[in-house]
Amino acid sequence: MKQQNEVDALIDKVKHIHMIGIGGSGMCPLAEILHSKGYSLTGSDNNESDPLKRIRKLGIPVYMGHRPENISGAELIVYSAAIGADNPERQAAAEKGIPAIERSLLLGALTRKYDMVVGVCGTHGKTTVTSMLTQILIMADYDPTAVIGGRLPLIDSNGIAGKSEYMVCEACEFVDTFLQMSPDIAVLLNIDNDHLDYFKTMENLTASFSKFVHMAGRAAIVNGDDARVMQAAEGAPGEVITFGMDKKNRYHAANIVHGPVGMAFDWMEGEKKLASIELQIPGRHNIYNALAAAAAARYLGVEPAAIAHALAVFHGAGRRFEILGRFDGVTLADDYAHHPTELKATLTAAKNMDCKRVVAIFQPFTYSRTALLLDDFIKALSIADKVILTPIMGSRETNTYGVSSEDIAAGLSDCVVLPTFETVADYVSDIAQEGDILITMGGGDIYKAAYMIRERLSQ
């Protein structure tokens, strides 16, 4: 039995929950799960979005704008991390003595309502692996519940509320929010130098991942090629199952070939071939992602042939090398890559596709990351033939580092910095040539520029 806490007791007691920022990618799937469990829900948001349309279809009332009267009748308030303490609905809740919790606490409580929870963690690849595993389980009729950090095209959503005891969750390490969860199986993909503004050292970051892996009582499915991952998994309470390229791993890839779009390989368990896997998404990093999802699905009892079939029809998660269109021989893609390792993987994958030129359009995300990893950003972006940068998106930070996109540009041979998405879209549509892959990248709102570019190219 999973250990209950105060939040669990609160959620068991209340009937009406109000969600501030209900249309957010992290909130929408939680609303669906609560709705499926019979809660009375209301929500508020500032922006119309596809997730909001989905929420309304379920019959959940949504208020546009944040006002004190929106929380009328609520017994519990749930808010996303983007909602500050000065929000009028949070202030009204505090005045009325209505308990309010951040979404990670709700997600943690929900993981204790399922008997088989798979938590997918790691610095890179979480959304893709969570999406892959969810797709495999849906297609194998496991009827899972899922909370994903991006849109899965199969369900056209960031999550799904199934009726079985299986739950798949993306587990994010940022400010240790994943430690609120109670996984039965932990999937650990990699450990890289990110969020060091919070963790300070790689040792602290590794220790956090280790805590998460040690919370999973049944199994830890881990990247055996990553030394820090193996360090984090040491002494894990459940079965430790390794995957990777090296033959020493329980599951590995052999006979890797570049297909016309993605990669193909033989999925091996020791000397035994389990299946041939053909991916529709490019990049060596996606072989690791597929091996991780396949290992987790195999642990849950899915047959190798069913796993291979589901992966063969997986076309990526939203903003994960998402092809937005092809226009007179120009391919436009959008990707969430915001760390040098991710940029390197994405740009290398693009280079291995049949193209003449890779044009990278990058929006650096957070000043701390840009300052700390400046040389690594320059090195990764130099893989592209041409680079267009936007100003840094600070997100939750102020620029106490004195860093700018011009600092990256100074280290690149063919690079321009443009001030707005409008100027980016105009410039890119002017320089685009047949045989180009244009790829927008970043953890912020650079996807808006991608849609502007698409609009111009389609004309």
Residues belonging to the active site? 126-127, 170
Q: Exposed, middle or buried by CB within 10 Å (0-12, 13-18, 19+), for 230?
A: middle
Name the token pair of 356: 């003449």
> What are the φ/ψ torsions at residue 295 (nearest 5 degrees)?
-65, -40
CA quadruple 84, 205, 347, 297: dihedral sign:
negative
CA 345 to chain CA mean position, Å: 15
Read off the tokens for 358: 């890779």
Q: What is the spatial distance between Cα 352 and Cα 395, in angstroms, rounded to a whole number? A: 32
Tokens of 127: 């959304």
DSSP code of 4?
A: P
Sequence-separated (6 or more) residues with CB below 8 Å from residue 190: 122, 123, 124, 125, 223, 226, 229, 288
Task: Name the CA radius of gyration of the chain, rounded.
Answer: 22
266 sits in which H/E element: strand 263-269
Tell me which residue of 104, 75, 67 sits closest to 10, measured CA to CA: 75
Q: Residue 277: in which H helix or E strand, if any?
A: strand 272-278
The kind and range of the H/E element at 415 are strand 415-417
